[in-house]
């Protein structure tokens, strides 16, 4: 599949690499198509499988599916640069967390309780099928869940059932086996507000490569 990955941070580059490994034709998007980090990524993966680097707009236009792996505080701006017409009708996999650093407060969420970044994106781009997922785990777990000692749970949330099924297929190709549909895009609130607990767990365990598993009653 042609996939546009918006974001040249460690998440965007790692997801893009994994997608290339899985046989997808990936365009990695950045504000400035000459971004050296993006071109280092391209040199690493090679162009044999059609991988390329471009602006956010070029990457979004390329993708039948688009991944938002931009800084949460800038995601709406990045998606505006990508352009509504290049996103329209497509599945947008949103892995971003709306994290900001506040003096005296440290890492906090810029949107909480009765709204979320996932919903803000869906409201800003109503013609796009936003699916929130993968934001609850570290990037290494995102792309290689099988490297954890046990099977763990990944969540999806979004208003379009078909889009969630498409994203679940993609997650299964990464190695995810236990995928829980949390309902509409409003469930992004809980997925994003998990971040403070994730940070506490990372501090308490001394590792970022962990995840939770949902265990239900047998009755
Ligand atoms: N690190 C993890 O393990 C992890 C886990 C779960 C979720 N996440 C989430 O994944 C996302 C990506 O994280 P990351 O650490 O890889 O990268 P990041 O540093 O949060 O974001 C980098 C990307 O954001 C773009 N960007 C920055 N400021 C911008 C602006 N003003 N306007 C438009 N675009 C802007 C950059 O564009 P350029 O390419 O032009 O520089 C770059 O592509 C974040 O939302 C993060 O919260 C991360």
Report pLDDT digits (tens) over 90-149: 999 999 999 999 899 888 999 999 999 999 999 999 999 999 999 999 999 999 999 999
pLDDT at 187 over 90: yes
Whether 31 lines ligand 1, by a CB cut-off of 6 Å, is: yes
Residues 6+ apart with CB under 8 A from 168: 156, 179, 181
pLDDT score recorded for residue 219: 79
Backbone φ/ψ region at 175: left (φ over 0), alpha (ψ -120 to 50), beta: left
Question: Contact, 6 vs 79, CB < 8 A?
Answer: yes
Rounded CA-CA distance 142/157 in Å is 16
pLDDT score recorded for residue 105: 86
Q: Give me 45's structure tokens.
A: 């993966």
The mean per-residue pLDDT over the stretch 171-192 comes to 98
216 alpha carbon – ligand 1 mean position (Å)? 34
pLDDT score recorded for residue 69: 99
Please choose from 18, 32, 70 the residue to mutate so as to test ligand 1's pocket, defined by most ligand atoms within 8 A of CB: 70
pLDDT score recorded for residue 179: 98
Q: Write the pLDDT tens digit of every residue in 54-104.
A: 999 999 999 999 999 999 999 999 999 999 999 999 999 999 999 999 899
160 alpha carbon – ligand 1 mean position (Å)? 25
- Provide the residue count of the chain: 219
Whether 76 lines ligand 1, by a CB cut-off of 6 Å, is: no
Question: Contact, 8 vs 41, CB < 8 A?
Answer: yes
Please, what's the b/e burial string for 2-18 (b: 16 or more CB within 10 A of its CB; e: otherwise)?
Answer: ebbbbbbeebbbbbbbb
69 alpha carbon – ligand 1 mean position (Å)? 6
108 alpha carbon – ligand 1 mean position (Å)? 15
**pTM for the predicted model, two decimal places:** 0.98
Distance of CA 192 to the CA centre of its chain: 12
Atom 45 of ligand 1 has which residue's CA nearest to it? 96
Q: Write the pLDDT tens digit of every residue in 197-210.
A: 999 999 999 999 99
Rounded CA-CA distance 3/65 in Å is 5
Burial class (CB in 10 A: 0-12, 13-18, 19+), 204: exposed
Q: What angle do CA 121, 60, 53 make, to 5 degrees?
A: 130
Lowest mean pLDDT among 1-5, 37-41, 99-103, 138-142: 99-103
Q: Give me 75's structure tokens.
A: 């995601």
């Amino acid at each position: 599949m042609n996939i546009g990955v918006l974001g040249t941070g460690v998440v965007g580059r790692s997801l893009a690499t994994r997608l290339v490994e899985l046989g997808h034709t990936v365009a990695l998007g950045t504000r400035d198509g000459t971004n050296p980090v993006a071109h280092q990524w391209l040199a690493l993966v090679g162009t044999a499988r059609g991988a390329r680097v471009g602006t956010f707009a070029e990457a979004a236009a390329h993708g039948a599916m688009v991944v938002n792996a931009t800084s949460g505080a800038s995601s709406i701006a990045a998606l505006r640069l990508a352009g509504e017409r290049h996103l329209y009708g497509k599945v947008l996999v949103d892995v971003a967390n709306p994290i900001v650093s506040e003096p005296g407060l440290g890492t906090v969420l810029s949107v909480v309780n009765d709204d979320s970044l996932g919903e803000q994106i869906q409201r800003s781009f109503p013609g796009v099928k936003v699916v929130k997922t993968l934001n609850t785990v570290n990037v290494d777990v995102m792309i290689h869940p099988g490297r954890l000692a046990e099977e763990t749970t990944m969540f999806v949330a979004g208003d379009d059932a078909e889009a969630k099924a498409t994203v679940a297929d993609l997650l299964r190709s990464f190695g995810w086996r236990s995928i829980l549909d949390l309902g509409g895009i409003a469930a992004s609130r809980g997925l994003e507000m998990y971040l403070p607990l994730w940070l506490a767990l990372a501090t308490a365990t001394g590792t970022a490569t962990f995840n939770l598993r949902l265990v239900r009653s047998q009755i």
